[in-house]
Structure 1
């Protein structure tokens, strides 16, 4: 809980700070990486730095957290914090790194806002930062413990046993763990980080959903080639049977929950990967819940894991409705996903994954169809630019 004195200062200065957060976070990253370039080796995503997505996500999370502290002073925004904590755990963030971030972030605030940062203002925002950092450190400790890892040490080696081309720009890798250590359990919908060494010697991490399982502890990831995506391009160009990859333990808080409520599984494009994993779990478990699967894609050729989704939906007793923007086959719908004529089960719990604009639009339609906002869970690939808005 924010102290009354700090709350008054934060409330008065939030509009000014929020208006400058993009500039502040840009200065923060530029200064920190100039002084600590090793942080770009195996921790921060260079692609997200170039695009500005990481900067915007950080600014959004700070503003959202401060706003929640003011609007709901007796509550901690654990949903938002859990999402961030899982992302941090997936790349191995450690407690001491919060001290580094604090140094450069508050240096950037002082540089950008100048004389407006009085001692009282600095103290109030320092309290906001450490409330957020302290909560994340505590949640991350529990996340690491659940994964059987110690403070960022989550890595092990896996071997590619099969590569399968799914579409012209998506391929799956079936992996088996090397060594005798037990494999941390994975929940349907979770992701792993893949750590690769780039041609310039710098290590980069990317998160990929565990899109399926095989006998003997095998696990599958499905990788879409992304425009200007250096890791996905490298994996598409080089990953082959027999290769070894370094993977983190599974993380992610948007995982299929046990229960008896009807399920609606919604995806677009490569967002089908967690949905396919959930369908696989439901089929293997013989889960009796009513399941409705809704997926949208450009066309049949672009639909990764299409055959797997159809087979698993049938095995899980699920109804499946498909939308294709062009050349829709018989039984599928043409155009973007809409819910006209779609019977959403009463009391349904929804899991969504896809581009943020797609999820915003579908979420609004689901709420209009009677789904409670608290029962709509979503996963964003990359920095979460929807924080505070969903």
Structure 2
């Protein structure tokens, strides 16, 4: 890109801040109209609830703001790259996206979209696409280099379906070819793809792997969303209601950057809300399975005991691993409980605030923001706080 082109892109930052979602909404509508086959690739639930449009607007804005030095965005590029490989996004998809994004800029800006501006954004997009697709090719290469690794979609058999609570059910997924499963890092996710008759579409959804690596199977633990038409629940409800043991589903290889830091004896503090505990359960199993001397503090909140998945499993782990201490919050307790109300770290401040600890937070965006803020206000280094928001990213807390 030339200096003049970078300046033109930078000049659009105020417009992107104010009208970014308008632009990305127009873009998605245009792309799906001209390339409806991509509806099989994108999560249409996130299209309905507007999360994907917002996430893309934030990403485009961040890129424009850092056009002089896009290298500072590499952590974001890495995270998005993992999501893209889990959805089998390939270089040819970038060409389609670029075509419709540039057309959308011209159509939304109208007379303000001068040829020089469009040329600048074309150059900027080509630079971004090269960065992203190059990084993703590296991720694909790493996947196939693993024992039993693969790219794209692979059939797995649901060998067990286990009810963990009134809302959450675990699915034990074994390779249909009878082989081993590729290794993964505790905290990573897989994408699962099903055909939805009501949409006449293949639809992917990403689910955290809720068990430690074992070489035999992946486990996902899925919350049943209320209302069959809930945009976030189209796949989860189908899994709960229609998928039976011995049915076949398609999976992509494990991906994700929210992972347990390896080879550390620092105290580990896990903070989760609701189904947000699923990636943390994998981390907890991995840590306690090593019988190491790592102090672990587990903090979890949900409505009541009936919806508390893995409650007995947690008790068993604590019984065999003396350095594991847990604090459970029930918002609507039906019996006497340890803590009543929403998770409040100030109630267990001495247990949570530990020297040199690593913190992992997972749950809804407001849950993450609240507890991230508490930790920072109490002197925890942001580099020691790790979080994952389910769905398209809306939080930018470590910037």
Q: TM-score, normalised by structure 2?
A: 0.90
1:163 aligns to what SS in structure 2? Answer: strand
**Deviation (angstroms), 1:269:** 0.4
- Corresponding residue of 1:278: 283
TM superposition shift of 1:181: 4.8
Give distance in 1, aligned partners of 2:194 and 2:208: 16
Report the 3-state secondary structure (helix = DSSP H, G, I; strand = E; otherwise coil) of the residue aligned with 1:76. Answer: helix
Query: Residue deviations 1:180-204, cap 9 Å, x none?
Result: 5542211101111111111154111
Partner of 1:231: 235
| Contact 1:61-1:388 at 8 Å conserved across structures | no
Deviates more, 1:188-197 or 1:155-164: 155-164
Q: 1:197 and 1:370 mapped to 2: Cα distance?
A: 48
For 2:58, the equivalent position in structure 1 comes to 60
From the superposition, tell whether residues 290 and 161 of structure 1 become closer, same or farther in structure 2 (CA, over 3 Å): same
What is the alpha-carbon distance in structure 1 between the residues aligned to residue 281 and residue 144 of structure 2?
26
Aligned residue-pair number: 386
CA contact (8 A) 2:9 2:67 kept: no
Structure 1 residue 23 corresponds to structure 2 residue 22: yes
1:356 to partner: Cα distance: 0.3
In 2, the alpha carbon distance for the partners of 1:100 and 1:268 equals 38
- Quote the Cα distance in structure 1 between the aligned partners of 2:214 and 2:75: 34
Q: Give distance in 1, aligned partners of 2:397 and 2:109.
A: 24
Aligned positions of 1:199-210 closer than 5 A:
199-200=197-198, 201-210=200-209
Is the Cα contact below 8 Å between 1:69 and 1:75 reproduced in 2?
Answer: no
Between 228-237 and 368-377, the greater mean CA deviation after superposition: 368-377
Q: Is contact 2:304-2:330 (8 Å) kept?
A: yes
> Residue deviations 1:215-261, cap 9 Å, x none?
66122111111241211111110122111111111111111111232
The 5 Å alignment of 1:1-390 reads 3-41=2-40, 43-69=41-67, 73=69, 75-148=71-144, 153-179=151-177, 181-200=179-198, 201-213=200-212, 217-227=216-226, 228=230, 229-258=233-262, 259-316=264-321, 317-327=323-333, 330=336, 332-340=338-346, 341-343=348-350, 344-387=353-396
Deviates more, 1:380-389 or 1:55-64: 380-389
What is the CA distance between 1:388 and its match in structure 2?
6.8
**How far apart, in 1, do the equivalents of 2:316 and 2:210 lie?**
14
Contact 2:182 2:215 in 1 (8 A): no
Residue 129 of structure 1 and its aligned partner are, at CA, apart by: 2.3
> Deviation of residue 149 (structure 1)?
7.5
Instruction: Check whether the contact 2:180–2:215 (CA below 8 A) recurs between aligned residues.
Output: no
Deviates most, 361-370 or 141-150: 141-150
TM-score, structure 1 as length reference: 0.92
Contact 1:299 1:327 in 2 (8 A): yes
Q: Is the Cα–Cα contact under 8 Å of residues 16 and 57 in structure 2 kept in the other structure?
A: no
For residues 376 and 126 of structure 1, what CA distance do their matches in structure 2 show?
Answer: 37
Asked whether the equivalents of residues 272 and 299 of structure 2 are also in contact (C-alpha less than 8 Å), the reply is: yes
In the superposition, relative to structure 1, how do residues 7 and 311 fare at CA in structure 2: closer, same or farther (>3 Å)?
Answer: farther
Contact preservation (8 Å) 1:296, 1:337: yes
1:40–1:46 CA contact under 8 A, matched in 2: yes
CA distance in 1, matches of 2:265, 2:11: 46
Q: Distance in 2 between matches of 1:149 and 1:199?
A: 36
What is the alpha-carbon distance in structure 2 between the residues aligned to residue 311 and residue 7 of structure 1? 57
Shift in Å at residue 53 of structure 1? 1.1
Secondary structure of residue in 1 paired with 2:345: coil
Q: 1:309: how far off?
A: 2.8
Distance in 2 separating the partners of 1:254 and 1:51: 24
**CA displacement at 1:361 relative to structure 2:** 0.6
Unaligned runs of 5+ in 2: none
- Once the two structures are overlaid, the 10-residue window that deviates more, 10-19 or 158-167, is 10-19
SS of 2:211's equivalent in the other structure is strand
Gaps of 5+ in 1: none
Deviation at 1:120, TM superposition (A): 2.7
Contact 1:268 1:353 in 2 (8 A): yes
